[in-house]
Structure 1
Amino acid sequence: MTERKVKQRTTVTIYGQQYTVVGHEPPTHVMEVAQMVDEKMREIRKRNPYLDTTRLAVLTAVNVVDEYKKLLEEHEKALKQLKRMTGDE
């Protein structure tokens, strides 16, 4: 029989709003993610103080996905380099 992960509910606050996140990740992980999103929104708000919340959220998402994509590209380069070094190509 396969083991089933239990979904957990975690309430977080992002940019002054409460959200309940339901998922399989531990509450500590969800809270860390929410804190990072909150910090990123506040960082962008400092640079663009006149953005409404919707535009701020979209710009935050664009920035986070941009950072994620760059990390994926760096990871791929590192894997290719490792394969070359170990002769696993």
Structure 2
Amino acid sequence: MSDEQKNRISVDIYGQNYVIVGAESTHHLRLVASLVDEKMREISEKNPTLDISKLAVLTAVNAVHDYIKLKEQYEELQKQLKQIKD
């Protein structure tokens, strides 16, 4: 990533300001921040007594869970596609 053009933006996630740096477009970086903020607020509504650290960890756990499920679905679809081609 060091040779790529990096974008740097300031975003607000759950009331905190963060600077995000990445090779992706600023639109993509803002979308990621927005989805994290949305998930944190969703979890906070259901668990209003959580402190910010626990809220952040639960948000990360939810994101990784979603990622794993999508990865499993993708791998299953790849397997099915391979069977169709063979």
- Band the TM-score falls in, shorter-chain normalisation: over 0.9
Q: Secondary structure at the match of 1:50?
A: coil
Q: Distance in 2 between matches of 1:28 and 1:55?
A: 28
Q: Deviations over 1:21-68 (max 9, x none)?
A: 111111000000000000000010011010000000000000000000
Q: Distance in 2 between matches of 1:22 and 1:35?
A: 15
Query: Normalised by the size of structure 1, how large is the TM-score?
Result: 0.92
* 1:23 and 2:22 correspond: yes
Q: What residue in structure 2 maps to residue 67 of structure 1? A: 66
- Give me the identity figure in percent: 52
User: After the TM superposition, which parts of structure 1 deviate over 4 Å for at least 4 consecutive aligned residues?
Assistant: none
Unaligned stretches of 5+ in structure 1?
Answer: none
Aligned length: 84
Q: What residue in structure 1 maps to residue 13 of structure 2? A: 14
Unaligned stretches of 5+ in structure 2?
Answer: none
Q: Distance in 2 between matches of 1:73 and 1:85?
A: 18
Residue correspondence of structure 1 range 1-89 to structure 2 within 5 A:
4-87=3-86
Q: Distance in 2 between matches of 1:68 and 1:13?
A: 23
Q: CA RMSD in A?
A: 0.7
